[in-house]
């Protein structure tokens, strides 16, 4: 009770008490005991003093005007009361006002002194409080009357041992109760008041109850009597809520069996039938298949035999038809720990009610939080179980609320009470009990329930090892049934006659009791095997006559608003990320700090004496480009690697919501892309600035971002496929290391294993599938070609390089073959040139005939067919010689021309000392010599090599366009400036980025169809050792352990025999 109410009450009490006869001893006693009931000892005294103070004031005012009329004073009091009541009106809620009114009645009732003045005051108060007349009358009769016949109004519920004679009031029969319990419902504010007249010692919420005192019977309260059934809030609510939903769900389970992929029996011939408004417990020792049953019943898993029918619809074969009416609350926590209680519920609700406005949803959420009793903590972050912000019970209730808010008709809950205190457990079950009032059918897997909880179920299903159904029926009867079979004394009594407890433990003790040897030691053998129990049950159980009732199913959820789903997912994820300050800070700082460390470390001055940093001389630019690629991969993977894994439980729940996976993925992907784009900006900005890489920020960013984006999706793939965080982090090196090795930066493609395609003309196939190789190549080629300096000369130098290569290496090499032929021929060798060499000549000469330059030089070797092993002769050799001489001439002249042209350009640029200085600065700032050496492969051991019957250029790859003109001949040598696509040359920078995005799209589809996970499952299934049921992930080790234990037991037994 709040301070305001107490203060208001003290004041009102004081006024009423002073009326007419003045403060009676009884009244003060009431006030004191009332306060004691509400407050701690010290506060009691404080408020008592406050009360006494008000009384004294009253007395004083009276003494000041000794001769005044009593009637007059009363009017004055009325005015005063009006004042107080108005003040109260402003500060108190309607609920609190009702409480105040009830207390006022109670005060008067304490000495049965109902003078007209007092009644007038209360009337006034009620009027000011705006309490409706009927309810006011109900309150008044509830407080004042005690006899059952006087209380025959619909607002009242009576519980007594005598039979009910009233027609209007509601009734609960309590055969062992002395006196009666009277309960009032104030409908407008949804409050219940409770009062008892009798001599039985009752407990309300565990506290002893005083006769004739009025108690607020709050949501979830329970009144216990020493014998007989407790009265729960829900029982009472059920009596009042007459408009409770009709049973419209008919749930039937027929001969359901389930066998795991490894051949173990999970469920054996389960039969159930239930209708709406029931709460059914599923019990059994651990490993008896409770969760499996829940999974099968909820449609998560398909049974191997039998069927589950909801209103004539097969749950498993016609899933689509009943999607949305089933709710599943797994044992795990489904909360997003960074979000508040409210937000958790809010976003979840939004996903369900996609056609509602935010306002409507907020309203719904508030209502739900109220009924969950969580409204007062709605702004708290939920935190995680290790770092508790809200209690376990609150968490559980919120978890249930997530599912409840969409009002599924059938609800499956896995161990809602595990890990909760008994009080929290009762609260949770109480909440569920309340739901059945609204027509829900609820299945609860429960482990070791307390007697109270156990009794709250309508039915209980007991499973034994191997998923054998050994009981199905009333929980209290279950105790009797098993005791009877076990031939126990008292077997016809279900519960302890004195305390009313039913001990579910006892049932399991009977079920699992073992044969005891002559020394009293248990032998490890069960007295009654599961199948035996099943037989007993079959004999005992009289199946209820089937309820055939065809009712339309409650409306299933709509599938609409894909964008809205994306939007909600997006907002939810964003707010959960923004709420995690550490995450935000780390993600924002990670990239720039890494960039700073990297760039600052490798920013060195080649000539320490000068002390001036010159970009051109920094030998670490190529490694920096490499690191950019790796950092992009790393940050991209790290940021995404746990994303889906973290959400997996929530996703499982949300799979019942008929939501689209693509909207979830798209929201994830876009958030991750945003983070990566941000990181890319920061990294490139810091790194490039420190190293003095001029311009090209966008190009760098684009590549960094593209790689990070791909890594994001790769990370999502693994986070979707693997089932533990450790596995995910073990996988990361597998994804990163090969990418590092095969970038072409650490190890030259010319020097990797020949079997993998090393040392060939083109990049090895194994490297082609490495995104890092495309990214690094794009970065390096771009940095080399498109820097402000090289840009001016690139095309010229490209030609210069081509002419030089032809002139210096290529034609002399070819000429060598012909020379050999000539000299050997002259020496009388019958086979002057190997066939392979002739083929090589033929290949290369036809290539030259078709080359880009041939149309300029117009030097053709007309009949290439003559250069064949059959036709080759001295004449051909001479002709080739001549042809080469012409080519050499052309290439020499062309080279000199281009070389001279470039030289003249540069000479002009440096014609004066100032210009020369300017040129030098321009050159120093934009061109990086070590990178150029890499791009031009200056350190190649051989400028050209022979591969088969082809000559392959190894130097100046960055000036060499790929030769393959075929449609899909996009593969090329490393560091090529352009790539071929459908016979067109496309700049490497764009082409490579397109390739990276192509990978990204593929990875996205793999993610969408969860291909990696499916492959893993296939692999595991083949392996046959692991239990593959994903839905049993938590239990896998459990069952295996059990298996091992049993084999070990067998071994031990064998040995003793």
Partner 1 sequence: MKKYFILFSLIFLVLSANKSFSQCGDALLEICHGKLENARFIKSWPIQLPARARGETLPQVSFKLPLTSGNTYKIFACDASEYPGKVIVSIRNQNDDLVVTSYVVEQNRHIPVIMFPVSMSGIYTFSFYFQDGKEGCAVGVVSVAD
Partner 2 sequence: MKKQKTILVILLLILGQFIAGCQQGQQRQEATDLLSDSFRDGDLRLNDAMIKEMISSVPNPLEITSILQRTGVVYSQDLLNPAGNVNDYNTNFQRALNLGVYGTDLIYMNIYERTVATLRYLSNLRELASDLRVEQFFDYTTLNRLSESSKNVDSVLYITNTGFDKMSRYLIDQERSHIAILISAGTWIESLYIATHAPTTAANKETINKRIGEQKKVLDNLLLLMNSYGQNSNFDELIKDLMTVKKEFDNVTITYQYAEPSIIESDGTLVVVDNSRSIVDISDETVKNIASAIAVVRNKVIE
Binding residues vs partner 2 (CB under 8 A): 562-563, 607, 610, 616-617, 662, 666, 794-796, 798-800, 804, 807-809, 853, 856, 892-901, 903, 906-907, 909-910, 916, 919-920, 923-924, 929, 938-939, 941, 943, 985-987, 989-991, 993-994, 997, 1001, 1004
Contacted entry of partner 1, partner 2, none for residue 185, CB cut-off 5 to 8 Å set by kind: none
CB of 810 to partner 1, least distance (A): 10
Contacted entry of partner 2, partner 1, none for residue 610, CB cut-off 5 to 8 Å set by kind: partner 2
Contacted entry of partner 1, partner 2, none for residue 27, CB cut-off 5 to 8 Å set by kind: none
Contacted entry of partner 2, partner 1, none for residue 837, CB cut-off 5 to 8 Å set by kind: partner 1
CA distances (Å), 301 to each of 187, 294, 631, 1019, in order?
A: 44, 9, 42, 20
Closest Cα partner for 433 from 671, 222, 250? 222
Contacted entry of partner 1, partner 2, none for residue 906, CB cut-off 5 to 8 Å set by kind: partner 2
Instruction: Give dist(CA 215, CA 221) in Å, integer.
Output: 11
Contacted entry of partner 2, partner 1, none for residue 895, CB cut-off 5 to 8 Å set by kind: partner 2
DSSP class per residue in 589-617: HHHHHHHHHHHHHH---SSTTT----GGG
Contacted entry of partner 2, partner 1, none for residue 993, CB cut-off 5 to 8 Å set by kind: partner 2
Contacted entry of partner 1, partner 2, none for residue 903, CB cut-off 5 to 8 Å set by kind: partner 2
Nearer to partner 1, 251 or 817 (CB): 817
Nearer to partner 1, 942 or 1002 (CB): 942
CB of 843 to partner 1, least distance (A): 16
Nearer to partner 2, 603 or 857 (CB): 857
CB of 919 to partner 2, least distance (A): 6
Contacted entry of partner 2, partner 1, none for residue 813, CB cut-off 5 to 8 Å set by kind: partner 1
Contacted entry of partner 1, partner 2, none for residue 673, CB cut-off 5 to 8 Å set by kind: none
Contacted entry of partner 2, partner 1, none for residue 893, CB cut-off 5 to 8 Å set by kind: partner 2
Beta bridge partners, 414, equal 445
CA distances (Å), 980 to each of 233, 768, 799, 960, 963, in order?
A: 77, 15, 19, 12, 8
Q: Which residues bind partner 1 (CB under 8 A)?
A: 809, 812-813, 816-817, 819-820, 823, 827, 837, 942-946
Pairing of strands 180-186, 170-173: unpaired
Structure tokens at 1006: 């793999």
Closest Cα partner for 19 from 84, 96, 108? 108
Nearer to partner 1, 916 or 946 (CB): 946
Contacted entry of partner 2, partner 1, none for residue 820, CB cut-off 5 to 8 Å set by kind: partner 1
Instruction: Give dist(CA 352, CA 569) in Å, integer.
Output: 11
Nearer to partner 2, 296 or 775 (CB): 775
CB of 647 to partner 1, least distance (A): 59
Structure tokens at 1000: 């990204």
CB of 855 to partner 1, least distance (A): 28
Contacted entry of partner 2, partner 1, none for residue 816, CB cut-off 5 to 8 Å set by kind: partner 1
Closest Cα partner for 981 from 961, 1002, 967, 999? 967
Query: H/E element holding 157?
Result: strand 156-160
CB of 777 to partner 2, least distance (A): 16
CB of 816 to partner 1, least distance (A): 5
Nearer to partner 1, 211 or 942 (CB): 942
Query: 964: alpha, beta or left, given left = phi > 0 and alpha = psi -120 to 50?
Result: beta
Closest Cα partner for 551 from 864, 356, 322? 322
CB of 944 to partner 1, least distance (A): 6
CB of 757 to partner 1, least distance (A): 21
CB atoms within 10 A of CB 917: 11
CB of 817 to partner 1, least distance (A): 5
CB of 819 to partner 1, least distance (A): 6
CB of 843 to partner 2, least distance (A): 24
Structure tokens at 638: 């790290």
Crossing angle for the helix pair 422-437 and 392-404, to the nearest 10 degrees: 20
Nearer to partner 1, 882 or 1015 (CB): 882
Nearer to partner 1, 819 or 918 (CB): 819
Instruction: Give dist(CA 441, CA 662) in Å, integer.
Output: 32
CB of 992 to partner 2, least distance (A): 10
Helices (H), 722-758: 725-741
Pairing of strands 410-414, 441-445: parallel
Closest Cα partner for 89 from 131, 53, 132? 131
DSSP 501: -
CB of 825 to partner 1, least distance (A): 12
CB of 755 to partner 1, least distance (A): 23
Nearer to partner 1, 217 or 891 (CB): 891
Exposed/middle/buried for residue 202 (C-beta within 10 Å: 0-12, 13-18, 19+):
buried
Nearer to partner 2, 613 or 825 (CB): 613
Contacted entry of partner 2, partner 1, none for residue 856, CB cut-off 5 to 8 Å set by kind: partner 2
Task: Write the CB contacts of 444 (distance below 8 Å, at least 6 apart in sequence).
Answer: 279, 280, 281, 282, 413, 416, 429, 432, 457
What phi and psi, each to the nearest 5 degrees, are found at residue 375? -60, -35
Beta bridge partners, 462, equal 283, 471
Nearer to partner 1, 318 or 813 (CB): 813
Angle CA 315–319–324, to nearest 5: 95
Nearer to partner 1, 53 or 812 (CB): 812
DSSP 383: B
Nearer to partner 1, 288 or 801 (CB): 801
Contacted entry of partner 1, partner 2, none for residue 898, CB cut-off 5 to 8 Å set by kind: partner 2
Nearer to partner 1, 812 or 900 (CB): 812
Nearer to partner 2, 456 or 996 (CB): 996
What string of H, E and C letters represents the secondary structure of 690-715? HHCCCCCHHHHHHHHHHHHHHHHHHH
CB atoms within 10 A of CB 361: 21
Structure tokens at 654: 């949300």
CB of 680 to partner 2, least distance (A): 16
Nearer to partner 1, 335 or 867 (CB): 867
CB of 699 to partner 2, least distance (A): 11
Nearer to partner 1, 440 or 954 (CB): 954
Closest Cα partner for 791 from 694, 650, 933, 888? 694
Contacted entry of partner 2, partner 1, none for residue 246, CB cut-off 5 to 8 Å set by kind: none
Contacted entry of partner 1, partner 2, none for residue 486, CB cut-off 5 to 8 Å set by kind: none
- C-beta of residue 431 within 8 angstroms of C-beta of residue 372: yes
Exposed/middle/buried for residue 3 (C-beta within 10 Å: 0-12, 13-18, 19+):
exposed
CA distances (Å), 960 to each of 575, 663, 776, 786, 979, in order?
A: 51, 45, 18, 16, 10
């Amino acid at each position: 009770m709040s301070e305001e109410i107490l203060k208001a009450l003290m004041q009102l009490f004081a006024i009423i008490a002073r009326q007419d006869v003045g403060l009676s001893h009884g009244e003060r006693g009431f006030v004191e005991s009332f306060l004691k009931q509400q407050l701690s000892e010290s506060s009691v005294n404080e408020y008592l003093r406050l009360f006494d103070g008000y009384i004294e004031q009253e007395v004083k005012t009276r003494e000041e005007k000794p001769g005044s009329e009593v009637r007059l004073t009363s009017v004055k009091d009325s005015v005063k009361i009006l004042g107080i009541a108005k003040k109260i009106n402003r500060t108190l809620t309607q609920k609190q006002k009702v409480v105040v009114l009830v207390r006022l009645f109670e005060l008067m009732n304490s000495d049965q002194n109902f003078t007209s003045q007092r009644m007038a005051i209360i009337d006034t108060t009620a009027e000011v409080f705006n309490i409706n007349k009927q309810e006011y009358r109900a309150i008044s009769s509830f407080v004042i009357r005690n006899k059952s016949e006087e209380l025959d109004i619909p607002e009242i519920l009576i519980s007594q041992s005598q039979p009910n004679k009233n027609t209007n009031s509601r009734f609960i029969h309590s055969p062992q109760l002395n006196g009666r319990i009277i309960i009032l419902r104030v409908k407008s504010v949804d409050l219940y008041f409770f009062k008892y007249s009798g001599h039985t010692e009752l407990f309300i919420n565990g506290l002893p109850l005083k006769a004739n005192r009025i108690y607020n019977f709050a949501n979830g309260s329970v009144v216990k009597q020493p014998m007989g059934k407790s009265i729960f809030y829900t029982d009472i609510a059920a009596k009042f809520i007459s408009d409770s939903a009709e049973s419209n769900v008919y749930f039937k389970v027929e001969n359901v069996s389930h066998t795991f992929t490894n051949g173990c029996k999970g469920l054996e011939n389960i039969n159930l039938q239930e209708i709406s408004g029931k709460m059914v417990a599923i019990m059994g020792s651990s490993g008896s298949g409770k969760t499996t049953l829940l999974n099968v019943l909820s449609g998560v898993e398909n049974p191997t035999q039998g069927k589950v029918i909801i209103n004539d619809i097969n749950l498993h074969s016609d899933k689509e038809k009943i999607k949305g009416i089933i709710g599943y609350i797994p044992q795990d926590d489904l909360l997003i720990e960074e979000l508040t209680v409210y937000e958790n519920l809010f976003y979840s609700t939004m996903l369900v009610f996609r056609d509602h406005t935010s306002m409507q949803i907020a309203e719904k959420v508030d209502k739900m939080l109220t009924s969950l009793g969580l409204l007062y903590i709605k702004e708290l972050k939920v935190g995680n179980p290790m770092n508790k912000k809200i209690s376990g019970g609150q968490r559980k209730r919120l978890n249930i609320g997530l599912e409840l808010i969409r009002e599924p008709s059938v609800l499956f809950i896995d161990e809602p009470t595990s890990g909760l205190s008994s009080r929290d457990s009762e609260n949770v079950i109480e909440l569920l009990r309340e739901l059945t009032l609204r027509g829900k059918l609820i299945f609860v897997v429960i482990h070791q329930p307390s007697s109270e909880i156990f009794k709250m179920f309508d039915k209980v299903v007991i499973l034994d090892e191997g998923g054998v159904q050994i009981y199905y029926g009333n929980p209290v009867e279950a105790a009797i049934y098993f005791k009877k079979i076990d031939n126990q004394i008292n077997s016809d009594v279900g519960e302890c006659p004195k305390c009313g407890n039913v001990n579910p433990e006892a049932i399991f003790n009977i079920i699992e009791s073992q044969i005891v040897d002559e020394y009293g030691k248990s032998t490890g053998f069960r007295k009654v095997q599961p199948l035996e129990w099943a037989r007993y049950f079959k004999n005992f159980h009289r199946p209820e006559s089937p309820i055939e009732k065809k009712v339309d199913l409650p409306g299933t959820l709509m599938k609409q608003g894909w964008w809205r789903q994306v939007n909600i997912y997006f907002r939810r994820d964003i707010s959960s990320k923004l709420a995690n300050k550490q995450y935000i800070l780390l993600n924002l700082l990670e990239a720039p700090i890494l960039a700073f460390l990297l760039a600052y470390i490798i920013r060195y001055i080649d000539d320490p004496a000068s002390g001036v940093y010159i970009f051109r001389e920094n030998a670490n630019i190529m490694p920096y480009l490499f690191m950019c690629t790796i950092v992009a991969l790393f940050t991209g993977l790290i940021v995404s690697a746990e994303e889906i894994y973290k959400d997996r439980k929530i996703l499982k729940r949300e799979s019942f919501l008929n939501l689209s996976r693509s909207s979830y993925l798209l929201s994830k992907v876009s958030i991750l892309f945003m983070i990566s784009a941000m990181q890319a900006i920061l990294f490139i900005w810091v790194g490039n600035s420190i190293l003095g890489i001029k311009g090209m920020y966008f190009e760098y960013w684009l590549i960094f971002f593209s790689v990070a984006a791909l890594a994001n999706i790769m990370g999502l793939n693994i986070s979707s496929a693997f089932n533990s965080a450790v596995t995910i982090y073990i996988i990361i090196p597998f994804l990163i290391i090969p990418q590092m090795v095969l970038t072409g930066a650490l190890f030259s493609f010319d020097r990797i294993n020949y079997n993998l395609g090393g040392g060939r003309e083109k990049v090895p196939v194994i490297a082609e599938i490495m995104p890092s190789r495309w990214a690094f190549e794009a970065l390096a080629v771009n940095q080399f070609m498109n820097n402000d300096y090289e840009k001016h000369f690139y095309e010229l130098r490209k030609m210069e390089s081509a002419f030089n290569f032809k002139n210096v290496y290529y034609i002399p090499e070819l000429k060598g073959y012909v020379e050999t032929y000539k000299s050997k021929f002259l020496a009388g060798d019958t086979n002057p040139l190997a066939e392979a060499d002739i083929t090589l000549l033929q290949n290369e000469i036809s290539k030259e005939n078709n080359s880009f330059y041939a149309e300029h030089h117009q030097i053709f070797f007309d009949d290439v067919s003559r250069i064949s092993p059959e036709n080759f002769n001295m004449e051909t050799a001479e002709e080739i010689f001549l042809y080469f001489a012409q080519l050499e001439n052309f290439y020499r002249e062309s080279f000199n021309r281009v070389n001279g042209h470039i030289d003249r350009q540069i000479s002009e640029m440096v014609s004066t000392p100032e210009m020369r200085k300017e040129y030098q600065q321009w050159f120093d700032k934009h061109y990086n010599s070590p990178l150029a050496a890499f791009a031009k492969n200056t350190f190649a051991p051989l400028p050209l090599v022979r591969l088969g019957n082809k000559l392959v250029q190894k130097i100046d790859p960055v000036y060499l366009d790929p030769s393959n003109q075929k449609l899909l001949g996009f593969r090329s040598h490393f560091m090529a400036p352009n790539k071929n696509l459908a016979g067109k040359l496309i700049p490497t920078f764009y082409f490579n980025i397109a390739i990276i995005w192509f990978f990204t799209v593929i990875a996205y589809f793999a993610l969408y169809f969860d291909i990696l996970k499916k492959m893993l499952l296939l692999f595991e299934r083949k392996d046959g050792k692991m239990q593959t049921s994903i839905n049993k992930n938590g239990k896998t080790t459990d069952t295996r352990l059990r298996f091992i234990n049993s084999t070990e037991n067998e071994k031990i037994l064998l040995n003793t025999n």
